[in-house]
Amino acid sequence: MEAIAESGVLKATANGEGKTRRDRHLQTARRLDWRYLLPDPSLREVAYVGRPEGTLLEALEQFSEAVTVVGPGSEKSGEFGVAVLRSRKRGEVELASSVLQAGGHLYWEVEGGRRGPSRRSCVAWLKQLGYDQIELNWNRPSFENCLEIIPLGEPSAATFVLSRRYGGVRRRMVQLVGRLLAKLGMLRWLMPCQSIVARKRAPAEQSMNAVETFVRRNWERLELGEDGPPNRLTSIVATPAFRASRHAVFMIFAKGSPEPRLVAKTPRLTDETSSLEREVANLRALHAVRPGGFDSAPRVLAYEAQWGSQLLLETAVAGHTMRPAVVRRRPKECGEAGIRWLVEVQQASAQRRHDPRGAIERLVNGPLNYFERVFPVTKEEKELIAETRRLVKPLESMEIPLVFEHGDFSAPNILMGEDGEIGVVDWELAEPQGLPAVDLFFFISYLAFARSRAEKVEEYLDAFRGAFFGPEAWAPQYVARYQARLRLPAASLKPLFIACWSRYVAKFLARLNDLGAGPRAKPEEETAEWLRSNRYFSLWSYAVKHGDQLRLAE
């Protein structure tokens, strides 16, 4: 049997089977990221009313202390602290209300479509049934594949989401239109997939959102502002869906603010705190590199125990994501901004006195050894590993600096500011004493993918070849400047390039495989095949096999 904590979270086990179950739990947990909209995200006695479609009921059964499917004729009345509703029938809305205790919370997924009552009618029903603190949210793009939960009661959050892909005048125009629609009362009715969170009225006053409640209660203690907390806080809940994602992320806005002021993160599985701990340590180390730190990176405001887990609170970094469309519109500006930032941070953090052999063992051979030990390697993959070791070995005798390496220097982690400079977020993969140039190679690859509109592995490889290989390669214009500023030996560029991709794949495997299973746990077959088909695996293989065509210097 799986060991389940009181809050419904699978505890760590020391075997591969436990790791597989745990990984599946992480994927299932994403369906319940809406629970952070409640005052307490720990789900205890939960009632479920409506159609048991998709993974919602399965997730509730795994992560609640107890879940009861309630149907017509139920004799349970006022017994549950949380009711989940998947129906637009008035009778089932009344049923969910009847089983909910005073002060309890309703989470209602209101599907779009022409049939059934309007969302305006749904809100009116709740008011008639005695609910207060009724909040509408936009679940983008759908309930099953939700990437963000955006509050519609405060227009600043929705206009931020609608405008963030743009910069300059276009962004301000979209924000203006969004505010106008909100003022007319139209914005909340245009979003296709909405949920409602409401509290059944109770005598005692109680805040809704757990994270916003923490911020408001600790405002003075954490010195978040001299004027006290804003009259109203609102937050977008980002629910990243990429496979190794561990956290729910909150972008917290003050009333009327066009940009988030704070960012909070909490793990989906309560005991999965290691990546948050790394981010905290990395950000503190980054800002200690020089007096005043770096305004282009978040600053840690709090890392504290909450809800049986941990909550990380950071400053927000202003700007819009350097999305592929932004790169295509402004390729030179994006490239120049990225190079300037890398040179600034990595010059300031460069350490030239160190043991090269020990550094390469830790940063390159260590991840390769892990990959070879854990991954079910084929004969061809064993040859790839051996050739990688041969190509990177010269680094052991070269004088290269160690630098503060971000580890995932591409969108969505790069934000473009109005002044043309960038901010960089998500530091959990950073390495304070990392390799030079690997962030550069990763960034140039992202620019290449964006410029070519790559979506398939073959298209990524074509863009990769065009940037780095053959006489028409365009990457050397950036590499030469970086090389000169960091004073890298020309002979170090090729082995650093190979190390970039081998390390990324090996670390990706570690992220997929570190859910409490121990260092020798094998990935399940489906995970191994997924990683083999990943574009970064193909880039590593191509770089090793075609290293003689690599062109990094002008």
Q: Mean pLDDT lowest for which of 424-428, 509-513, 550-554?
A: 509-513
* Alpha carbons 228 and 159: distance in angstroms, whole number: 25
Q: Is the pLDDT of residue 92 over 80?
A: yes
* Alpha carbons 499 and 398: distance in angstroms, whole number: 14
State which of 68-77, 249-258, 345-354 shows the largest mean pLDDT: 345-354
* Three-state SS at 194: strand
CA atoms within 13 A on the CB side of 537: 15
* Alpha carbons 209 and 252: distance in angstroms, whole number: 11
Mean pLDDT of the chain: 88
Q: Is the pLDDT of residue 6 over 60?
A: no
Cα–Cα distances in angstroms (integers) from residue 489 to residues 108, 394, 439, 482, 483, in the given order = 60, 11, 17, 11, 8
- Residues contacting 429, CB < 8 A, separation 6+: 278, 406, 407, 408, 507
Q: Is the pLDDT of residue 289 over 60?
A: yes
Read off the pLDDT of residues 486-507 as tens digits, 9 standing for 90 and up: 999 999 999 999 999 999 999 9
Model pTM score: 0.85
Q: Is the pLDDT of residue 285 over 60?
A: yes
| pLDDT over 90 percentage in the chain | 64
Homologous superfamily (CATH) of 320-549 is Aminoglycoside phosphotransferase (APH), C-terminal lobe (3.90.1200.10)
Q: What is the pLDDT of residue 195?
A: 93
Read off the pLDDT of residues 244-272 as tens digits, 9 standing for 90 and up: 678 899 999 987 788 899 999 999 888 88
Mean pLDDT of 153-173: 78
Ranges of CATH 3.90.1200.10 domains, the chain? 320-549
Q: Mean pLDDT lowest for which of 291-300, 526-535, 538-547?
A: 526-535
Read off the pLDDT of residues 313-341 as tens digits, 9 standing for 90 and up: 999 999 999 999 999 999 999 999 999 99
**H or E element, residue 265:** strand 262-267
Q: Tell me the pLDDT band of 21, cut-offs 50, 70 and 90.
A: low
Buried b (16+ CB within 10 A) or exposed e, 157-166: bbbbbbbbeb
Q: What is the pLDDT of residue 516?
A: 42
Q: What is the pLDDT of residue 115?
A: 63
Read off the pLDDT of residues 376-409 as tens digits, 9 standing for 90 and up: 999 999 999 999 999 999 999 999 999 999 999 9
